[in-house]
Every structure is written in structure tokens, then in C-alpha cells.
Amino acid sequence: MLNTLTLTAFCVSALCALASARTQLTDGTAGKIIEGPGFTTMGALQWQSSGVLWDGCTDSAAHPINISTCFALQLSADPTKNLQDDSSDSPRQRIEFLTAGAADGTSWSYQWKYYLSSQTGTTNHFFHLMQILTRGGSGGPVITLNAAAGKVAIQDTVRGCPAAGCPSIALNEFTDRTTTHSMTVTYGPSGSVKYTVKDSATSKTLLTYSATGSMGTESTSLKFGTYRLAVAGMTVSLAAVGDFSEKKL
């Protein structure tokens, strides 16, 4: 997926027109985060990107991406490229989609699809594929789906995972397949979350996690995409996301 070779091979079929019609939204050279057109244009989502972001995905015959409204996300293996802040001593690359900040006590259900290419490796540093991000208090992630050290794992910053035994799967059980992510969440100090990741083709549950208690304060959003510390030795990151829906409960 997503590389020039695959694209060229794919262009023998009628789908070539579709593949080449995709639109580049950011080219990764700004050295800062570019923001998308906002919640009015993008429905319930906004995007932020310091990497290479496309509206439209290039499929591959070996591992087709089953996402209809699809965005392709690419981050460079070069830790000096696609950075959200060129001058930071904690260099980070970020392409994320996010929901509008929600108030405490509100409940939502979300669904989205996610595809991570097996060309994407992990390091021992953070690489968030999903986060519940709060802006109140000291701010930061509450729950994350993190890819590190060859695993994809839930982390619960508030309740102390992984010490408490958060679920994880091997990276290669997550890559090269479309996954369906479902979440029901109530934000705020008396909150709750139920999050499930399934293989879209087989409906097999890959990961599931539930928790009650603090789920952010004041303004909290769901974010998903690729957000990582940029370090020497990392791989390229290739992902696709889309088919997002949200419902206020």
C-alpha cells in the first residue's frame, strides 16, 4: 500500500483513476502542525498533520484496505523530518484526526477503521495510534492505544496500566489488516470507557478494554492516527484511517 511501486502496479486496472485522484493535504515539509478545515467541513472530525497526509488511499492487492472514506498517513523514517516542531528537544511526528472537545458528563459512541502497514515498526518509545486526550487539569492522554516494543497495547495513564495488566497483542496481529474500532465513552471525573478493536474481515476481537472513573476534565477528545517520538532507527510509518462515525448518547 501507499508506495510508488504498488501504485504503478495497480494502475493497470481501472482503479488507477481512483488511486491517482487522491489529494495530498500536507506534504510534511512545514516543520509544524498543519490543521485541517475544521469540524464543519470534515463532519465530526478535524485533522492535524506534520507528516504526509492524503485524502484517499492506495490499495494493495496483497492486503487490501477496506475503508471507504479513507485517508492515508505517512511519516518519514528520518527523525529530522515531518516534525511538529523543528526546534524541540523532544522531536515528534504527528498525523491525527480528532473530535471536538467534549464536556464532562457527556456520553458518545464512536466507530472508525484503522489500517497499519507491516512496513511500520516500533521502537521502545511512544507511538500513539489512538488517545483519549484531555485539556483540563494537567492535560494529556487518559487512555491510549500504543505501539511499542513489537506490541500494540492499551495504556491507561489514570489507572496505572500496564502495571494493572492492560491488554496487548503482537504487532503482527494488528498490521496488514483493516481493524474496526468501537468506543463508548462518558467524559469527566465520573466517566467510563469501553473500547474494542476487531479484525474487520473476520470480526475477531483483537483487543478490548473497559474502565470507570476519571475520563478527562473540561474538554476531552478522541484522537486517532499516528503520533510518535521521532528517534534514530525507526521505520517509515504507513497507515490508513477513515469511515468514522460518532453519536451523542
Residues that bind ligand NAG (CB under 6 A): 66, 200-201
Taking the complex as a whole, the smallest distance from the CB of residue 113 to ligand NAG amounts, in Å, to 7
Specify the residue, 168 or 200, whose C-beta has the smaller distance to ligand NAG. Answer: 200
Specify the residue, 90 or 202, whose C-beta has the smaller distance to ligand NAG. Answer: 202
Buried-exposed string 86-105: b where 16+ CB fall within 10 A, e elsewhere: eeeeebbbbbbbbbeebebe
Q: Which residue is nearest to ligand NAG (CB)?
A: 201
List Cα–Cα distances, 65 to 35, 57, 177, 192, 242, in angstroms.
Answer: 25, 8, 7, 31, 10
Specify the residue, 81 or 113, whose C-beta has the smaller distance to ligand NAG. Answer: 113
Amino acid at 237: S
Taking the complex as a whole, the smallest distance from the CB of residue 167 to ligand NAG amounts, in Å, to 23
Specify the residue, 32 or 247, whose C-beta has the smaller distance to ligand NAG. Answer: 247
Taking the complex as a whole, the smallest distance from the CB of residue 37 to ligand NAG amounts, in Å, to 26
DSSP single-letter state for residue 81: S
> How big is the chain by its Cα radius of gyration, in Å?
17
Taking the complex as a whole, the smallest distance from the CB of residue 47 to ligand NAG amounts, in Å, to 22
